[in-house]
Amino acid sequence: MLNTESTIYHEEIVEPDLRKSTLGRTSAWMLLLFIGVIWGLTFSLAKIAAQGGAHPLGINFWQSLIGAVFLILWSFGTRQKIPMKRNNIVFYMACGLLGSIIPGVLFFYAASRVSPGVLSITVATVPLLTFAAAAMFGIEKVRVGRVLGVVFGVLSIILLVGPEESLPDPTVVPWVLAALVAAVCYSAENLIVALRMPTNVSPFMVAGGMFIAASLIMTPAVIVTGTFTPLPWPWGASEWAIVGMATLSVTAYSLFIFLIAHAGPVFASQTAYVVTFSGVFWGVLIFDEQHSTWIWASLVVMLGALALVTPHRNEDIRLP
């Protein structure tokens, strides 16, 4: 679906001065808000696609293929080849499985049953889980504030699935947990990127290789299982949602990398707040969702958790 994590930085981070940057402070904030808003919209588009009858495997296939085409065209346009050595291919396959196929299928299954607002809260656990795993492996410094952020994240999920009055239908709890498993997969992929990322690739190349690997795996999978989802013209709501979701996800990721390069990773990491909040907002706007007090409390606690985990200047950081 989406994965707004980047890599772990072990050295001191020197943030660009936005007053002197060619991007500018106002432009940087506008770009950050734009990225967060369109990324948040993908939750609602996923629900539209799933409710329209598209099979989760078919949706995942198209997202992988469209992402691969987009990033291959980018590599040609910038004359940067995606390395295809043996260690690169193994790395891309691992990222494709953990960063696209497994979490994507779980997420799209959950999308037809869980509201976009709730999905946006569950995906917000990715930076929390990533920090927890990185701390366990000794590649992140354990800081009290971030540990407290993880605790707040756990509390947010408890508020989400614990009270009977929280979700409109208690039977969807397993699907909320499935979305959380997807977040675990995204976090595992982030850890692999941090520990095993080849030295001859950039984040864009990682994304391109990941989508190519996912497309190659998903192609025979949808054929064998009979779950291929055609996109016949004229497109209906489901087809537009699939293409729109894939396009927005790749665009947001590309702009996110651009923002890191021009405004710094600490500034770019604040995108996580906008993605989470806008995911809830789009659900209310498109589906007229009415959330319980427990879900709103879960959202507030999760935003607090993100604030605690988000790195500050001159820290070893994990980008949300």
* pLDDT of res. 10: 41
Residue 240 has pLDDT above 60, yes or no: yes
The number of C-alpha atoms within 13 Å of 303 and in the hemisphere containing its C-beta is: 14
Average pLDDT over residues 209-216: 90
The proportion of the chain whose per-residue pLDDT surpasses 70, expressed as a percent, equals 88
**Residue with the larger pLDDT of the pair 13 and 45:** 45
Average pLDDT over residues 74-84: 84
CA 149 vs CA 138, 141, 159, 175, 229: distances in Å = 18, 14, 15, 24, 40
Nearest in space to 318 (alpha carbons), one of 195, 201, 210, 209: 195
* pLDDT of res. 229: 83
CB 5 within 8 A of CB 11: no
Confidence of residue 11 (pLDDT cuts 50, 70, 90): very low
**Chain segment 112-137, per-residue pLDDT in tens:** 888 888 888 888 888 888 888 877 77
**Residue with the larger pLDDT of the pair 53 and 180:** 180
**Residue with the larger pLDDT of the pair 302 and 140:** 302
The residue ranges of DSSP E strands in the chain, in sequence order, are 8-9, 317-318
For every residue of 175-199, DSSP letters joined together read HHHHHHHHHHHHHHHHHHHHHH--T
Average pLDDT over residues 200-224: 87
d(CA 188, CA 263): 27
Confidence of residue 234 (pLDDT cuts 50, 70, 90): confident
Mean pLDDT, rounded, of the chain = 81
Residue 17 has pLDDT above 60, yes or no: no
Confidence of residue 45 (pLDDT cuts 50, 70, 90): very high
Q: How does 151-184 read in b/e, with b if 16+ C-beta sit within 10 Å?
A: ebbebbbebbbebeebbeeeebeebbebbbebbb
d(CA 200, CA 246): 27
For every residue of 50-90, DSSP letters joined together read HHTT--HHHHHHHHHHHHHHHHHHHHHHTT------HHHHH
Confidence of residue 102 (pLDDT cuts 50, 70, 90): very high
* pLDDT of res. 3: 56
Residue 157 has pLDDT above 80, yes or no: yes
Confidence of residue 86 (pLDDT cuts 50, 70, 90): confident
Average pLDDT over residues 22-42: 84
Amino acid letter, residue 199: T
Average pLDDT over residues 161-178: 82
CB 231 within 8 A of CB 61: no
Alpha-carbon dihedral angle through residues 203, 209, 214, 220, given to the nearest 10 degrees: 170
d(CA 84, CA 88): 6
Confidence of residue 244 (pLDDT cuts 50, 70, 90): very high
Amino acid letter, residue 51: Q
Residue 2 has pLDDT above 60, yes or no: no
Residue 162 has pLDDT above 90, yes or no: no
d(CA 35, CA 253): 8
d(CA 40, CA 117): 9
